[in-house]
Chains A and B, each alone.
Chain A
């Protein structure tokens, strides 16, 4: 379900939820609906460093007409972080490396009022996750 959502949809929903509790509940809910990461992929090599919680991320190229697109799967043992992952994947998933490189994640999360989660001194790993996604894209380019 999450992959049919766009950032615009999210932004509209967030505006309706004026209370931070409701927003967090919604973010947690997005995490619950995230495409599952196979347990076999929850290994050290797929761990995103710089996170207070455990975060795993894998990417695989999917064939499409023209440039290959990258499909990401991710998981975390923390619910809110998992929800933030879901939002990041709405931004980045199934796009070409060039598109991924061009996305200004900070500006996009700003629109949702989530910018406080991505300042580098917030050690929840969102920044580390964005860096990892961009690095994977650079490698696939």
Chain B
């Protein structure tokens, strides 16, 4: 099952009582030390997982264990520490491969984050395959990370950048997509799940239609891989980029999945150690992928932390996480709709547990400052998606994004803090 299916679709009539829990969320919360902290004397209610997720003890321990017991640089020494670090680093690659069901661990390139992965494709594959007269197709839903690299490509090679509009409820306008998609389009770059609206795009269908006209497909999956199972071979996309820190892993580590034949044909981007087969002053032979794209000492500790995060999520079960968050989404949509003057942006389904909203007459900045005093962590502003804000006709929104550790009590805390804020600001 992939996130194309409507597993996260909220029902029209949310259940008044919680269904049987897919896992013991209170036990899960105890794995996240930071959730026991207080903010301004109040228990923290963390609703900004879409910006960055908190880390379970298992991730912190894996990173500390490596650095206290067997740390050394990878792919270099024959001594035990280096061999052990290398084994764990490469095992992390296999963990990622299994997590997204890539065909081979060689299709998994470790990057710094999703932005880094998208830029890698823009600077290598795209520069070699896209020129004047060609087009790149993106959407109005994109994060700046999936807009700016293509604008830079456009300015460098003179290609066209086309933008698929969104419908009023936050879905992609697929009729417009079909109109904009023709043989001049060489790449479709689309987010799997909107970081602002939580709406999930039909990426398998998009990929099928793109391939039919000979275009390649890159998916920005940072918001999608955290909410449920993703299968890159089922989607059949050519590239899939995501970051580790939204996935309960550390910062500084991301993943670029690429089909092996594409990676093998791609020139390197950054040059340096570890990405070469042999070097002389006359001629350097580049290593095969993924090493070709991992110049310099990689984020070793972070890759191992990411693998621990994936192991943690798979321990709970990706379907169980999707079910838990699906319940939270239904409950939150129901509770928030009772808040006076509140408008939810992006009600199209399927939708992940990411809710952007505005409150009549209340600036998102005021709101987030008041929510902060109640111990709530929410992001206010343009969410690195200024074009989408313009389309929504707002300067910014307030966003509640839920993770596997959130509870219905967190939703209740949000709703009562919103009511309180409305009284203060009214």
Contact = CB atoms under 8 A, between A and B. Distances in A.
Given A24-B373, A52-B396, A79 B425 contact: yes
Nearest to A124: B365
B167 interface: no
* Contact count band on B: 10 to 19
A20 B366 contact: no
Main secondary structure of the interface of B (DSSP, over half): helix
B365 A81 contact: yes
Contacts of A17: none
Contacts of A80: 365-366, 369-370
Contacts of A52: 364-365, 380-381, 396
B366 A54 contact: no
Contacts of A77: 363, 395
A79 B373 contact: no
A21 B395 CA distance: 26
A78 B40 contact: no
A53 B369 CA distance: 12
B21 interface: no
A109 to B, nearest CB: 15
Contacts of B364: 52
B409 interface: no
Contacts of B420: 21
Interface string B370-396: 100100000011000000000000011
B185 to A, nearest CB: 36
Most chain B Cβ neighbours within 10 Å, of A21, A24, A79, A81: A79
Contacts of A24: 369-370, 373, 424
Contacts of A54: 395
Contacts of A28: 424-425
A78 B363 CA distance: 5
Most chain A Cβ neighbours within 10 Å, of B369, B380, B396: B369
B417 to A, nearest CB: 11
Interface string B25-46: 0000000000000001000000
Contact of A79 (B366, B381, B395, B396): B366
Contacts of B381: 52
Nearest to A81: B365
Contacts, number: 39
A25 B380 contact: no
Contacts of B380: 52
A81 B369 CA distance: 10
Contacts of A78: 363, 365-366
Interface string B396-426: 1000000000000000000000001000110
Most chain B Cβ neighbours within 10 Å, of A24, A25, A77, A81: A24
A53 B363 contact: yes
A54 B382 CA distance: 13
Interface in A117-137: 124
Contacts of B369: 24, 80, 124
Contacts of B396: 52
Interface string B330-370: 00000000000000000000000000000000011110011
Interface in A8-26: 20-21, 24-25
Nearest to B381: A52
A28 B370 CA distance: 12
Interface string A47-89: 0000011100000000000000000000001111100000000
A23 B315 CA distance: 46
Most chain B Cβ neighbours within 10 Å, of A21, A25, A28, A124: A21
Contact of B424 (A25, A53, A81): A25
A25 B366 CA distance: 11
B416 to A, nearest CB: 13
A79 B380 CA distance: 15
Nearest to A83: B366
Contacts of A20: 40, 373
Nearest to A23: B373
B2 to A, nearest CB: 36
A24 B395 CA distance: 23
21 contacts: A20-B40, A21-B420, A21-B424, A24-B369, A24-B373, A24-B424, A25-B424, A28-B424, A28-B425, A53-B365, A77-B363, A77-B395, A78-B365, A79-B366, A80-B366, A80-B369, A80-B370, A81-B363, A81-B365, A81-B366, A124-B369
Given A24-B373, A52-B380, A53-B363, 11 more contacts: A20-B373, A21-B373, A21-B424, A25-B424, A28-B425, A53-B366, A77-B395, A79-B363, A79-B425, A80-B366, A81-B366
Interface of A: 20-21, 24-25, 28, 52-54, 77-81, 124
Among all A-B residue pairs, the 7 with the closest Cβ atoms: A78-B363, A78-B365, A53-B365, A52-B365, A80-B366, A78-B366, A79-B366
